[in-house]
Amino acid sequence: MAEITDKERTELLYTKLKQVREEVGKVVIGQEYMFNRLLLGLFTNGHILLEGVPGLAKTLMVNTLAKVLHLDFNRIQFTPDLLPADLIGTMIYNQAKSDFEVKKGPIFANLILADEVNRSPAKVQAALLESMQERQVTIGETTFKLDSPFLVLATQNPVDQEGTYPLPEAQMDRFMMKVHVDYLDKESELEVMRRMSNMNFRYEPKTILDKGDIALIRNEINKVNMSESLEKYIIELVFASRRPKEYGLNDEAEYIQYGASTRASINLNLASKFIAFSNQRDYVLPEDVKSVAYDVLNHRIILNYEAEADGVTTRQIIESILRKVTIGKV
């Protein structure tokens, strides 16, 4: 059999991605925005933090995506009494062998749903942090590499709810994106109601991609071209959050306590390339950067108490930055 060309391979990957969307859509109604952000995180090696009310099919979405992509999936319910060992595993004594052996925890999977992550104390959050950043965990004196791909999808309760432990800025920064998940529209909710009220409804999604395909897609995304002017545009957006007065954002400067970190620049670059690839382009447009700017920046720009008192939101700050910083001025 003749070897396929690079163009044919890319077209095949596009076709498979379309099939992934269709297959997930047979199980999960609506929530296309969440689905697209999950794919973005998976194919750019970035973790996603979801914030929204319960009952929006987050678990179903991740579980279905894992099946379609032939990946291992674990859901971990974070609670105030959760221990680091419950997450990463521990050493147990084997009486038959008269020796200690490692019992691995649920973190050893490709897709992790960390449900209500801010209900766990700091020690558990720190254990999760190592796995997210280093793609490894340490049990006893042994360090274990996590399988690739490895994606943490965390859900967060509003921080004003009782029994929550706000995630520190250092851990928030490890998430590529913070995505707000909203309710379905009327038509989608009607379809969900009809489907779920049918107790005989069963559908087992088919496997479309595997780990090899995911590696190929990541390689294709890495080939997407970004012009130097767009690279500088990303840097200007991030610096505008740090030094707003230099960009004519005098009013906004009064509300910003901390600007975005260097990870914001990296993740804006990666996310923009995925958007371009998903639109079957091998080059990035300014619109690609703008389309991911809010989700990449909203948890990295920290506002002060004056902003809260005046009702100023991070979205408003980011919108002001996008208006002031234009590609033509870079």
pLDDT: is 252 or 119 the higher one? 252
CATH topology of domain 6-213: Rossmann fold (3.40.50)
Alpha helices by DSSP H, 82-154 = 84-88, 122-134
Select from 69, 281, 20, 49 the least CA-distant residue to 172: 49
Mean pLDDT, range 38-62, rounded to an integer: 88
- DSSP-based three-state secondary structure for 246: helix
Q: What is the pLDDT of residue 69?
A: 92
- Distance from C-alpha of 261 to C-alpha of 241, rounded to nearest angstrom: 9
From residue 164, alpha-carbon distances to 84, 110, 117, 158, 302 in Å are 17, 27, 9, 8, 19
- Distance from C-alpha of 289 to C-alpha of 230, rounded to nearest angstrom: 8
Select from 274, 260, 270, 295 the least CA-distant residue to 50: 295
Q: What is the pLDDT of residue 261?
A: 94
Residue type, 165: Y
Task: Say what the pTM is.
Answer: 0.90
From residue 40, alpha-carbon distances to 16, 106, 268, 270, 271 in Å are 15, 23, 11, 9, 7
Domain parsing of the chain, residue ranges: 6-213, 224-329
Which of 19-33, 85-99, 234-248 has maximum average pLDDT?
A: 234-248
Q: What is the pLDDT of residue 328?
A: 64
Helix 286-297 / helix 262-278 crossing angle, nearest 10 deg:
130
CATH topology of domain 224-329: Helicase, Ruva Protein; domain 3 (1.10.8)
Q: Is the pLDDT score of 145 beyond 70?
A: yes
Mean pLDDT, range 78-107, rounded to an integer: 85
**Average pLDDT value for the chain:** 89
Above pLDDT 90, what percent of the chain? 57
Q: Is the pLDDT score of 1 beyond 50?
A: no
Q: Is the pLDDT score of 160 beyond 60?
A: no
Confirm if 116 and 97 have CB atoms less than 8 A apart. no
In the block, residue with structure tokens 């690079």: 6
* Run of H or E residues at 294: helix 286-297
List pLDDT tens digits, range 164-219. 667 778 888 999 999 988 888 899 899 888 888 887 777 888 999 999 999 999 99
Q: What is the pLDDT of residue 330?
A: 44
Select from 282, 292, 287, 289 the least CA-distant residue to 224: 282
pLDDT bracket for residue 162 (50, 70, 90): low
pLDDT: is 120 or 316 the higher one? 316
Q: Which of 50-54, 82-86, 112-116, 263-267 is least confident?
A: 50-54
List pLDDT tens digits, range 266-305. 999 999 999 999 999 999 999 999 999 999 999 999 999 9
Residue 103 backbone dihedrals phi, psi, to 5 degrees: -110, 110
Q: Is the pLDDT score of 60 beyond 90?
A: no
From residue 207, alpha-carbon distances to 111, 210, 215 in Å are 15, 8, 16
